[in-house]
Structure 1
Amino acid sequence: MSVEFDRAPSRLATIKDDVFASVVVLLVALPLSMGLALVAGYSFENAAAVGLISGVIGGIVVGLLSGCPLQVSGAANGAAVMAAVFIKDLGFEVFGLIVMLSGVIQIAAGALRFGPVFRAVSPALIQGMLAGIGLLIFASQFHVMVDDTPPGTGQEFGGVINLWSLPVAIWKGVTMEAHEPAALIGLLTIAAILLWRRFAPRWLSFIPAPLVGVGLATAVAAFFAFDIKYVPAPDDLLAAVSLPTTHTLGRIGEGALWAAALSLAFVSGAESLLTATAVDAMQRRTPRTRYNKELVAQGVGNFLCG
């Protein structure tokens, strides 16, 4: 009688799939990282550099330290909107310090083995929060989609103002020549994503719909040379890096900064660990997530990004 054992594929046999998956993640994460940098309040001139550097830190540093082998770390919707609020309330000069402090809190929480505590947070709570954040992002970025500035930017109840003024953005995209090309590209992106999810051939269904939408819209905009706003590519990535000044560090004792850092650490930590739990539920081939290690990895990433 012979007994056969299932053998995991060798590293060499899977490297082709790994490289392809990495390229797909890169192409999806690249516009997302830059877009969320804009949502957070960075200027068009700096958004690309900030998004790229943050993506590299999430992919390489957090990836090497991660406690979840199949989770990809990077820019998050919830963190972007919270960042915009912190920048508005506390000032842009201390935002990096807030992110650094949130990383320190996460590292300490992981070292003290508080990782599983984050799993006690109801997924409904996190999903509800993210749905609200997504609505705010939609309200502001719909205006950006037609090459317009969100009217609620920097104002009290800015999200409500952006939502209320959506018909104005639609009117501009339909009737004003200066806004029509951007509106067409935005609608093309949305249509491509929806149609790909519904009608993609089975043998191509592994290509993510956002990648198809972004790729098609970019090609069309370039081919027809549409006069729309583009996020400028940085000549020097390191030009976006700035270390905290002594004046900024002098504000480290402010309670508002620590409250902001604690909020950011909790929300981003819970979101990451709940995602890791979902990844575990989807597969049985890799070891289960080590929550404390994953929390420390996220903390290191946030510290470096800050």
Structure 2
Amino acid sequence: MPWNATRVRAVLRTDLPASITVFLVAVPLCVGVSVASGAPAELGLVTGIVGGLVAGALPGSSLQVSGPAAGLTVLVHSAVTTFGLPALGLLVLTAGLVQVLLALLRLGRWFRAVSSAVVEGMLTGIGIVLIASQAYVLLGRRGSGKALADLGGLPAAAVRAVGTAGGGASLAVGAGVIAVLVLWKHVPRRLALLPGPLVAVVLAAAAVRLLHLPVPTVRVDGLLGTLQPPGAEQFALLGRPEVWGTVLTFALIASAESLFSASAVDHMHAGRRTDYNRELLAQGVGNTVAGALGALPMTAVIVRSAANVQAGARTKASRVLHGGWLLLFALVLPGLLHLVPLAALAGLLVHAGGKLVAPRARLRLWRADRSEALVLLATATGIVTLNLLEGVAIGLVAALAKTAWDVTHIRLHVEQSPTGTVVRVHGNATFVKLPTLVDRLEEVTPTGPVELDLSALTHLDAACRQALTAWADQHRRRGVPVTVTPEAELVRSS
């Protein structure tokens, strides 16, 4: 669509205000994710800038916004601890090139074939690990880096922190941030136009400043001073197999999270749908540029994307402009970051971790489909007890096992009353389960007219169709009326 005066006015009316809203949401999240990842605060802003100006300008999804994501915090922190901060750029750059390759091979849509239970389990596990690590920052202490040990030691750490001036103040600041985020959805509509994360962090910074609380704040070194483009020493790391494991994990998880986010964003608006291969290419190019600057990896972020849609954005101009505002902030006002308490960012990320865990949604899944919930639980448990890559692998194996079970599983549910009998058949009726099907049918003693309900069958092969037809005809010959739902499922014999 060509640019003209009408389109420019439309952008100024809708996308410009939306870009400011997204910028205000993005600043504290970019900084918080970066600090929690073990990187300088400015690198999170660099990734946000690249996500807006580079990935945001490319075709794919028109309204979702990219930047550093809480879902990658645990993985990035582990990579920084293992390989060092100077190697981060190499890992991100190489992961971006892998994403570009996947996009050129047109594999973007295949990410939608990954079991949603595995993806939700991955997010749940990441959320638990994120909470475990950031809870110690919120208490003004350092965790062990192992999720299970950190979770187990959290009560004792909280008791010790409350007994010190610094720990108590840090806990109060972090708890205040969480309280603001939880309660923000209940504030009056006019006030709710301000982003909750920004309000929470600004209030926390003001409280620390005015009350002279002994709480550490973000360290600021300047935007250009933090950039660490990978050099020859870092590229030499590509000869180590474990580096490639981290690269592939970066690429696959970032791609899956971005494309699942795109699907969610598409449900929020009535505009153009996402082209998954182009969006994967945009994410790959963005990560390649971010890696070349030594910054954090990026994904499409549902929090910022939802804020963009809800603020009334209509085109990609809003996400590009948000990147411009981040760049302007990083160049002109970086000193403001020095006022931000680390405990406030920890509170922000503990809240984000809670949203990733989403206990209410997990409980609903357990009630609706326990087999899917068990796949989710296996994935999350593997991530918490082992690591991210092995946890996802466990989840994929569990999902395959569930699929194999579903393919070969069949259930008969019989409801009998004085007025008749209802026989409901669930699952996959294949020749593998033919003996089980015949045995269960022979156990049924009708108490009146029979309804054979096959609406819950996902597959019915010829052998099982013949067995069900024979059973229905046998009862009809005995004078028992048999109806089949749906009627076209079985071909009745004459």
Using structure 1 for the length normalisation, give the TM-score: 0.87
* TM-align CA RMSD: 1.9
The CA distance in 2 between the partners of 1:230 and 1:269, in whole Å, is 33
Classify 1:11/1:40 alpha carbon distance in 2 versus 1 (closer, same or farther; 3 Å). same
1:201-242 residue CA offsets vs partner (Å, 9 max, x unmatched): 1343343332332232222223323221110233x3111122
Q: State the distance in 2 between where 1:263 and 1:118 align.
A: 14
For 1:215 and 1:162, how far apart are their aligned partners in 2?
29
Q: What residue in structure 1 maps to residue 425 of structure 2?
A: none
Aligned AA (1:168): A
The equivalences for 1:214-293 within 5 A come to 214-234=201-221, 236-284=222-270, 286-293=271-278
TM-score, normalised with respect to structure 2: 0.55
Write out per-residue CA displacement over residues 46-77 of structure 1, whole angstroms, 9 at most, x where no aligned residue: x2221111111112111111411110101112
Aligned to 2:168: 180
Aligned to 2:35: 38
Query: How far apart in 2 are the matches of 1:135 and 1:16?
Result: 41
SS in 1 for 2:66: coil
- Secondary structure, aligned partner of 1:113: coil
> SS of the residue aligned with 1:71?
coil
CA distance in 1, matches of 2:31, 2:189: 31
Query: Structure 1 residues 17, 182: closer, same or farther in 2, change over 3 A?
Result: farther
Same amino acid, percent of matched pairs: 37
- Aligned pairs (5 A) from 1:149-164: 149-150=142-143, 152-153=144-145, 158-164=146-152
Gaps of 5+ in 2: 1-5, 292-494
- Answering whether residue 8 of structure 2 is matched by residue 22 of structure 1, we say no
CA–CA distance in 2 between the matches of 1:130 and 1:247?
34
> SS where residue 126 of structure 1 aligns?
helix
1:125 aligns with one of 83, 97, 118: 118
Q: Contact (CA 8 Å) 1:123, 1:274: kept in 2 or not?
A: no
Change (3 A) 1:162 1:124: same
Alignment of 1:73-84 (within 5 A): 73-84=66-77
Which residue in 1 is equivalent to 2:158? 170
1:305 to 279, 290, 293: 290
On the 8 A contact 1:142/1:169 being kept in 2, the answer is no
* Distance in 1 of aligned mates of 2:37 and 2:273: 33
Q: Residues 96 and 24 of structure 1: is their aligned pair in 2 closer, same or farther, counting only changes over 3 Å? A: same
Q: 1:63-102 to 2 correspondence within 5 Å?
A: 63-102=56-95
Uncovered stretches (5+) of structure 1, i.e. residues with no partner? 1-8
SS at match of 2:64: coil
Paired letter, 2:136: H
Question: What does residue 422 of structure 2 align with?
Answer: none
1:37-56 to 2 correspondences below 5 Å: 37-42=34-39, 47-56=40-49
1:134–1:221 CA distance, 2 compared to 1 (3 A): same
User: How many Å apart are 1:11 and its aligned residue?
Assistant: 4.1
Which residue of 2 is the match for residue 5 of structure 1?
Answer: none
CA distance in 2, matches of 1:61, 1:106: 15
What does the per-residue CA deviation read over 1:59-104, in whole Å, with 9 as the maximum and x for residues that have no partner?
Answer: 2111111411110101112222111222333444433211111100
Distance 1:131 1:89 in 2: 24
SS in 1 for 2:267: helix
Does the CA-based 8 Å contact 1:102-1:302 persist in structure 2?
yes
Q: Distance in 2 between matches of 1:212 and 1:269?
A: 31
Conservation of the 8 A alpha-carbon contact between 2:86 and 2:228: no
Question: Does the 8 Å contact 1:110/1:295 carry over to 2?
Answer: yes
Tell me, yes or no, if the aligned pair for 2:73 and 2:130 is still in contact at 8 Å.
Answer: no
8 Å CA contact 2:100–2:284 kept in 1: the answer is yes
Offset of 1:259 from its aligned partner? 1.9
Partner deviation per Cα, 1:16-46 (whole Å, 9 max, x = no partner): 443332222222222221221222222xxxx
Q: Distance in 2 between matches of 1:188 and 1:194?
A: 10
> Contact 1:33/1:75 (CA < 8 Å) preserved in 2?
yes
Structure 1: how far apart are the matches of 2:64 and 2:256? Answer: 14
Higher Cα Rg: structure 1 or 2? 2
1:33–1:55 Cα contact (<8 Å) kept: yes
What is the rounded CA distance, in whole Å, between the counterparts of 1:194 and 1:93 in structure 2? 37
Give 1:13 deviation, angstroms.
Answer: 4.0
Q: Which moved more, 1:122-131 or 1:85-94?
A: 85-94
In structure 1, give the amino acid aligned to 2:24: L
Give the total of aligned pairs: 286
Deviations 1:267-297 (A, max 9, x none): 000100110011111111x211111111111
